[in-house]
Amino acid sequence: MFRNDSGNKSLLNRILFYIPRFEREQDQNQSDQFDWFRQSNYTEPIESSKTADEAKQPLFDSYYDFLARADSLESQMTTIGSSSSFTSAVSLSVQDDLSMLSSLIDTHLQTNLKIETSKPTAIKSVKLFQKPYYKEKIKGQEVKVTSWRMKEKMKTISAALVLCLNIGVDPPDVIKTVNSSKLMCWINQSAPQLSPQKILEMIGAELHKQYERWQARARYRLCPDPTSEDVKKLCVSLRKNAREERVLFHYNGHGVPRPTINGEIWVFNKEFTQYIPLSLYEVQTWMGTPSIYVWECSNAGLVVQSFLNFEIDREAEFKKQMEETETTVAVMPNFKDSIHLAACAATELLPQHPDLPLDLFTSCLTTPIKTALYWYVTQKNSCQLIPGLTLDLLEKIPGQISDRRTMMGELNWIFTAITDTIAWNLLDSDLFQKLFRQDLLVASLFRNFLLAERIMKSFDCNPVSHPVLPSTNEHALWQSWDLVLDMCISQLPQLFDSGGNQIGEFVSCGFFNQQIEIFELWLKLNVSSEKAPEQLPVVLQVLLSQQHRLKALELLAKFIDLGPWAVSAALSVGIFPYVLKLLSTQPKELRPLLTFIWAKILAVDRSCQAELVKDNGHVYFVQMLSESDVEPEQKVYSAFVLSTLVNDFPTGQKSAKKSHLIAVCSFVLTDETTRDYANVLLRKWICLCLGLSWNKFAEARWEGVRNNAHQLLLKLAADAEAEVRAAALFALGTYIDAGHDKEGTFEQAIEIDSQIVNTLIKSYDCVFLVRKELILVLNNYLNRFKLNESNEYGIHNQNKTNIVFSKAVATLLDLQNDPYPECALLARHVLSQMLHAESQFESAKRKLIKQIESRIVVLSEDKCHMDTGLVAWCSNYFLKPLLASHGPDSDQPLPVNRQIDLYSNEKLDQHCKILYNYKTRRVPHKWTQPSQMEELVQIQHQPYPIHVKFNPNNEQIFVADIQKNVTVYDNLNRTKLLSFSTILAPNSGAKQSAIIRSFKLINTQHEPIVLTGSDDLVVKFFKPDLHNMKQTQLITAFTAFSSIRESTVEAGLIVEWDETNEMLMCAGDTNYIRVWDMNKELYKDYLTGLKSCVSSLSCGDSFTIAGFGNGCVKLFDFRSSSSAVGIVHSDSASSFYSSTPVLHRTGSMYESKHTYSNQLYAHNSFVLKTCVHAQNNTLISCGILGDINVYDLRYMKKSVDKSFNNEKASALECHPFNRLIAVANSTKQNESIKIYNFEGAELSYIKHREGFMGKRLSTVSCIDWNPNSNEILFGSFDNMITIFRKKDNQH
């Protein structure tokens, strides 16, 4: 029997979250630590089946019974946590435990903690190093764009309408039925009052008129009942005038015999006494290419076959002639560029339905709506089913084709949408573009050909086309077309009175509303599919309607937001000219949608920039950017669109300058109090837009000077967001590289450039993304001094710039040894290029280059691609889904920019997080009495370890050794899982001899990150691949300090990590502590006030304890307003912030009423370790001579009067939760590890390893406690890693 699993999920979440809180809410008085439990005695029965006596019994015998019952859930939690969902069955007994634990928690929270139990506290997710530039390669995403743009646009500008009718005389091979149709082009051929010649003229005029509906600008020439010479003259004349454009040849052969198998059609002699054969070979010679042919005759398929065979023969003859004459042509003629539409197959005869025209195929091509109505009525017997409906009414359908509000206009609109949709879904992209998008007349004829196929096949005729199309007559959308026809036809009797006068109004059939609903439903239910819905072309047609345009744009925006594939699909349908034309519309409600759609299009296909600029579309986006009532999120899209328009596109740059783009962007950055400035994405893209607008364009640079743009960008170079800082440096780099023109001299330009560089080199950024942009800024600055005709300058200017030039070179020399390999390699390329181009600099600078030549790591002269990929990488943002979903009740149809939070809980594995929170909040049992230790694990590790760390959430050990390697072991089976070196690639410039002085394991609740600090002052963050046990990622690396001071006692680089505040403290052989805010990735320096080195750091709640080489211990409080984290532009003393000397918690239980000194000379020797035990408000410090002091942080005085241990120590560590201290004594012949409590009482010691003839301990180099138990891990100089624990107690 099992219970509902959804309830189990919530119970497990609550229990595993709150139990650890109870364990940590412990007072100093151990006798009261379980009072809350003893007083609860919650006795509410869990099951109705329990007796009254059972219900009165306490649920748990003791607090330890309570914990034991909680422990029994761990295996169940592990099973559920590792599964894909909480669907694992939970047994009845476990369900009872869950219910009891949850009930007890409710009682405790309500009575003791006053917490609303229905709203548990949210678990904070780890955000560190989840920013995109740490997780992705800085390069543009490769997007495969379907070919949607026609290689060449083409027009059909001439047409030959050849009518071989000979009215009144039937050809000998045609037998007409008794009731055969008399209609030709909807004109009665047997009208007795008209002569055959007049009827022929009327038919020709009507056919001309029908074709003009589809291509009004074409030149149509009639050729009624022609001779072969007439056809020749007409074809040659049309080809001569058309040149390279397409020519139409329409042949109606109803009055002549059927085509022959020899590839001949028939015309007349001059006297109309004979039928004269006309070879198709000659026709195609006269017509040339490109051309389109319509064959309205029986056996028309035979014409197409013969024509294509002749094309092959002509091409072969031409090649043979070229070979015989040994001549060559620049461009090979295309003999096969012909399109054919034929009424029937090679062996078929044309139908003769009495109610339809004889030239039914032509009627389908030229009058599709009328033909479809007549065919539908005759096929469905609608005249009998709909009272009052007659065929005459079909002639009175109101409206014009061009007016979509009328019946005729809507039918044509729907017909276009349906045929386009059928073709787009069945044809491949290239063929669709050629037939339905390249030529207006060809597209119309092929849309109508789909109808012709359906109608002709109903009479057992199979129309033929070249290129061959797949069968379309049974497509499901034809049923929708039939429904539309039925709804329209049923209205006709009510629209007209008996006299034929219109008395009613046409009611729309609602086709487009239905299709929009279907499309919207697809967006909701099929977003995981990368196949576009078949209704996409319908959305394109809906854009033509002002009534539905807003809804269509909204759906289109949601669709293309699905990914690049969706944008490609929309472009292949033909969306581009429509959205381009919509930029000229004025309705403000369309602006956000249009801006978003254009941002998506340009993110996928940047080549659209040419058309956009040509149609002055950029003005639309500049206006959007300048208006104050536009939302910042929408301005982001505008800024991206404008950035794309000026990116490597000089025409776009010039157009943008004329539209005052630089002035508009500068204005956005002027006022820091506006909501525009507060938007991080907008600040970033404004910077990138400025940088691209004046890239290699000197005129735009001086436009920036007039708008003070470079000063605004310098301010953003110190922005709180690293991506904004990088974008600002990119813009300043292109600004320097733009040079000067007639508006400014070289001296004026170089003075501004020198000011920019002099400001930028004063700061140091820990983000490699920013440092790479700085290198390019310096590269562009150095290149400005290369001598050429345009930048000759005087000696007085040289003196001014030589100082900045030397500083720039010095900065590059530092950056060539940057700890991040990409930065170092880029800086070395810049310096190498400078060295190779030494002769291009003036004498003073050549002299400087000579002096530092030996310090440059010279690379080959191969040109390095000086592009960091920042712009392309930032553009990847617009390839991701950005729109928030809209519910059915939402009345806001506009897109909402959803800031993609890569640091949110969605990105963390929920089940693992629950398990981690359970384990990490578990604390070991108290250890108050002396006890022996037992050995659990012993691992041999070479070379000897210098740092060891437990991974508290997995049974793993992290070890750093003397050779700068980090190794991960499974401490259960003692196997090596992973090993990597912290020495980076040779081009990184890292000192090979630098020893790891600091080693931390952070971010353990999610993905463990290894933090190292080494003697070369470099901080590195590594993310081991603990899932696949493969490559370890270097997340980032940077230099903690630019320089150190000489000292008799050296500590190396000391780092401490503040997990709560995401702060990195760095100190060592300096007189200040550098505090890095790793969320903003900025730093601030705090003076120590001592000349001694910092030897130890330990973090508390917003304060840091520092131990010094002279024995002093000092506290720093960084919470004061003067200590707000910010960027520091120099290491000068004036840039430092003084520290608050004492911890002062006003209004709390820790408020002090005493005056404290700002430092304690706690030891007579080098401070080995300081530990802050936050739960007990205790500070433990130890000197290298082994003297351990315990201080009460509330009073800053010793809680234990005398120091204890007092043996030379090599390592010390405090348990993070228990009041335990482990110290490794290194006195020769007396090496041991001793365990003390905070009162100085010795609880245990380790002197020998276990086993027969247990070996004595070697000198211990490092120690760590397991936070979840009383296990101690240590490494020693005898290449051993060992784990001990308290005997008879796993906790």
C-beta of residue 1134 within 8 angstroms of C-beta of residue 1085: no
Q: Which of 730-734, 938-942, 1184-1188, 1195-1199 holds the top average pLDDT?
A: 730-734
At 208 the pLDDT is 94
pLDDT tens digits, residue range 986-1001? Answer: 544 445 568 899 999 9
Q: At 1023, phi and psi to the nearest 5?
A: -115, 100
Q: Spell out where 186-273 has E strands.
A: 187-188, 219-224, 246-252, 264-268
At 2 the pLDDT is 31
At 71 the pLDDT is 57
Instruction: Give the angle subtended at the CA of 1277 by the CAs of 1274 and 1278, to the nearest 5°.
Output: 100
Q: Alpha helices, DSSP H only, in 184-227?
A: 196-212
pLDDT tens digits, residue range 1086-1103? Answer: 888 888 899 999 988 778
Confidence of residue 788 (pLDDT cuts 50, 70, 90): low
User: For the chain, what's the residue count?
Assistant: 1291
Q: Is 264 exposed, middle or buried (0-12, 13-18, 19+ CB in 10 A)?
A: buried
At 42 the pLDDT is 35
SS3 540: helix
Neighbours of 1079 (CB within 10 A): 15
pLDDT tens digits, residue range 340-364? Answer: 999 999 999 999 888 899 999 999 9
Q: At 755, phi and psi to the nearest 5?
A: -65, -40
Q: Is the pLDDT of residue 448 over 90?
A: yes
C-beta of residue 876 within 8 angstroms of C-beta of residue 139: no
Q: Is the pLDDT of residue 264 over 80?
A: yes
pLDDT tens digits, residue range 122-157? Answer: 334 455 788 899 988 999 888 887 777 776 778 899
Neighbours of 79 (CB within 10 A): 12
Relative orientation angle of helices 632-646 and 680-693, to the nearest 10 degrees:
20
Taking phi over 0 as left and psi of -120 to 50 as alpha, with beta for the rest, 875 belongs to: alpha
DSSP assignment of 931-1000 equals --EEEEEEEE-SS-EEEEEEETTTTEEEEEETTSEEEEEETTTTEEEEEEESS--GGG---TT--EEEEE
Taking phi over 0 as left and psi of -120 to 50 as alpha, with beta for the rest, 1055 belongs to: beta
d(CA 971, CA 13): 28
Q: Is the pLDDT of residue 91 over 70?
A: no
Question: Of 885, 907, 888, nearest to 896 (Cα)?
Answer: 885
Confidence of residue 83 (pLDDT cuts 50, 70, 90): very low
SS3 422: helix
Question: Of 833, 721, 714, nearest to 774 (Cα)?
Answer: 714
At 1230 the pLDDT is 81
d(CA 713, CA 648): 21
Q: Is the pLDDT of residue 567 over 60?
A: yes
Confidence of residue 230 (pLDDT cuts 50, 70, 90): very high
At 393 the pLDDT is 82
At 525 the pLDDT is 83
Q: Is the pLDDT of residue 57 over 50?
A: no
Question: Looking at residues 645-670, what average pLDDT do you find?
Answer: 94
At 1289 the pLDDT is 56
At 1159 the pLDDT is 60
Q: Is 555 exposed, middle or buried (0-12, 13-18, 19+ CB in 10 A)?
A: buried
pLDDT tens digits, residue range 844-860? Answer: 888 888 888 888 888 87
d(CA 1051, CA 1053): 7
DSSP assignment of 627-638 equals -TTS-HHHHHHH
Query: What's the mean pLDDT when you consider all of the chain?
Result: 80
Region of poorest pLDDT, from 387-391, 662-666, 776-780, 801-805 = 387-391
pLDDT tens digits, residue range 1277-1286? Answer: 999 999 998 8
Q: Alpha helices, DSSP H only, in 707-839?
A: 709-716, 722-737, 746-760, 768-783, 795-815, 821-836
pLDDT exceeding 70 applies to what percent of the chain?
79
Question: Looking at residues 889-913, what average pLDDT do you find?
Answer: 39
Taking the CA atoms of the chain, what radius of gyration do you get in angstroms? 42
Confidence of residue 1160 (pLDDT cuts 50, 70, 90): low
Question: Looking at residues 491-512, what average pLDDT do you find?
Answer: 82
Amino acid code (one letter) for 1055: V
End-to-end CA distance of the chain: 35
At 968 the pLDDT is 94
This prediction has a pTM of 0.81
918 vs 438: which has the higher pLDDT: 438
Q: Given strand 1209-1214, what is the order of strands in its sheet?
A: 1209-1214, 1220-1225, 1232-1237, 1242-1246
Confidence of residue 1201 (pLDDT cuts 50, 70, 90): confident
Q: Is the pLDDT of residue 903 over 60?
A: no
At 327 the pLDDT is 73
Amino acid code (one letter) for 1205: N
113 contact partners, CB below 8 Å, separation of at least 6: none
pLDDT exceeding 90 applies to what percent of the chain?
40
At 800 the pLDDT is 73
C-beta of residue 560 within 8 angstroms of C-beta of residue 600: yes
d(CA 306, CA 338): 13
1229: DSSP letter: T
Question: Of 26, 20, 37, nearest to 108 (Cα)?
Answer: 37
Q: Is 565 exposed, middle or buried (0-12, 13-18, 19+ CB in 10 A)?
A: middle
Q: Is the pLDDT of residue 770 over 60?
A: yes
SS3 1270: coil
At 870 the pLDDT is 94
Across the strands, what pairs with 998?
Answer: 1013
Residue 570 half-sphere exposure toward CB, CA atoms < 13 A = 30
C-beta of residue 247 within 8 angstroms of C-beta of residue 231: no
Confidence of residue 1202 (pLDDT cuts 50, 70, 90): confident
**C-alpha 1108 chain-centroid distance:** 47
Q: Is the pLDDT of residue 470 over 90?
A: yes
Task: Name the helix (H) or strand (E) containing 446.
Answer: helix 440-457
